[in-house]
Amino acid sequence: MESSNFKRMRFGGCYLNSIACKCLALFGFALVLRSVSLPTFSVYDYYGIYTPKTNTSAARSQGSSLPGNVKFGIRVDKFLEVPQIVWGLNNQKIAFARACLTAKMLNRTLLMPSLSASLFYKEVDLLQPIYFDKVFKFDHFNSHCQGSVRLGRYSEISNNTDSSVELPKGSGRRWTVERDMEQLRQYSTDPFDSYEVIKITGKNPFLWPDHWPVEDYAKIFDSLVLVDDIAKDVEKVVSKIRERGGKVRGDTDTGSSGFPYMAVHMRIEKDWMIHCKKLEQRQNISEICSSKDEIMERVHNVRDLQTPMVIYLAVADTLLEDNFIFDGWKEGFHPVEKHRLGVYDIYERYPYLIQSAIDYEVCLKADVFVGNSFSTFSSLIALQRTQKMINMGVKRSCGIKVRWPSYAYNILGESNGPQLWMTNMSDSSLQAISYGTNKGQPQLILMLEGDLKNGRC
CATH number of the domain at 337, please.
Answer: 3.40.50
The lowest-confidence range among 104-118, 285-299, 371-385 is 285-299
Helix (H) or strand (E) holding 177: helix 177-187
What's the average model confidence in pLDDT over 177-181?
A: 92
Long-range contacts of 73-76 (CB under 8 A, 24+ apart): 73/147, 73/148, 74/104, 74/107, 74/108, 74/109, 74/147, 74/148, 74/149, 74/150, 75/107, 75/108, 75/109, 76/109, 76/150, 76/152, 76/156
pLDDT tens digits, one per residue of 192-223: 999 999 999 987 777 788 899 999 999 999 99
pLDDT band at 40 (very low <50, low <70, confident <90, very high): very low
User: Which domain-ending residue is among 186, 204, 221?
Assistant: 221
pLDDT band at 289 (very low <50, low <70, confident <90, very high): confident
Tell me if the pTM is above 0.85.
Answer: no
Do 302 and 191 reside in the same domain of the chain?
Answer: no
What's the mean per-residue pLDDT of the chain? 78
Helix 89-105 × helix 376-391 angle, to 10°: 60
Pairing verdict, β 261-265 and 368-371? parallel
Q: How far apart are CA 43 and CA 51, in angstroms?
A: 7
- The pLDDT assigned to 60 comes to 31
Please check whether residue 68 lies inside any domain of the structure: no
pLDDT band at 303 (very low <50, low <70, confident <90, very high): confident
Do 329 and 416 reside in the same domain of the chain?
Answer: yes
- The pLDDT assigned to 288 comes to 82
Do 153 and 298 reside in the same domain of the chain?
Answer: no
- The pLDDT assigned to 275 comes to 75
Do 211 and 244 reside in the same domain of the chain?
Answer: no
The torsion region of residue 448 among left (phi > 0), alpha (psi -120 to 50) and beta comes to beta
Residue 354 has pLDDT above 70, yes or no: yes
pLDDT tens digits, one per residue of 81-102: 999 998 889 989 999 999 999 9
Please check whether residue 186 lies inside any domain of the structure: yes
pLDDT band at 48 (very low <50, low <70, confident <90, very high): very low
User: Which domain-ending residue is among 202, 221, 240?
Assistant: 221
Of the two residues 120 and 116, the one the predictor is more confident about is: 116
- The pLDDT assigned to 425 comes to 85
Do 96 and 212 reside in the same domain of the chain?
Answer: yes
- The pLDDT assigned to 384 comes to 93
Q: How far apart are CA 34 and CA 6, in angstroms?
A: 26
Percentage of the chain with pLDDT > 90? 45
pLDDT tens digits, one per residue of 12-31: 444 445 555 555 555 555 54
Q: How far apart are CA 261 and CA 309, in angstroms?
A: 6
Neighbours of 217 (CB within 10 A): 24
Do 139 and 237 reside in the same domain of the chain?
Answer: no
Question: Number of folded domains in the chain?
Answer: 2
- The pLDDT assigned to 32 comes to 45
Residue 453 has pLDDT above 90, yes or no: no
Do 305 and 197 reside in the same domain of the chain?
Answer: no
- The pLDDT assigned to 56 comes to 34
- Which residue range is the domain that position 378 belongs to? 227-432
User: What are the two backbone dihedrals, phi and then psi, of residue 65, each rounded to the nearest 5 degrees?
Assistant: -80, -15
Please check whether residue 390 lies inside any domain of the structure: yes
Please check whether residue 268 lies inside any domain of the structure: yes
The lowest-confidence range among 216-220, 296-300, 444-448 is 444-448
Percentage of the chain with pLDDT > 70? 72
What's the average model confidence in pLDDT over 353-368?
A: 95
- The pLDDT assigned to 64 comes to 32
The lowest-confidence range among 236-240, 409-413, 438-442 is 438-442
Do 337 and 372 reside in the same domain of the chain?
Answer: yes
Do 157 and 256 reside in the same domain of the chain?
Answer: no
The answer for residues whose C-beta is within 8 angstroms of residue 104's C-beta and 6 or more apart is 74, 148, 149
What sign does the CA torsion over 322, 266, 374, 435 have?
A: positive
Neighbours of 58 (CB within 10 A): 12
What's the average model confidence in pLDDT over 178-186?
A: 94
Do 250 and 381 reside in the same domain of the chain?
Answer: yes
The lowest-confidence range among 45-49, 80-84, 314-318 is 45-49
- The pLDDT assigned to 248 comes to 87
Please check whether residue 407 lies inside any domain of the structure: yes
- Residue 429, SS3? coil
pLDDT band at 47 (very low <50, low <70, confident <90, very high): very low
Please check whether residue 121 lies inside any domain of the structure: yes
Residue 11 has pLDDT above 80, yes or no: no
- The pLDDT assigned to 444 comes to 40
- The pLDDT assigned to 291 comes to 86
DSSP letter (8 states) at residue 206: G
Radius of gyration of the CA atoms of the chain, in A: 28
Please check whether residue 357 lies inside any domain of the structure: yes
pLDDT band at 234 (very low <50, low <70, confident <90, very high): very high
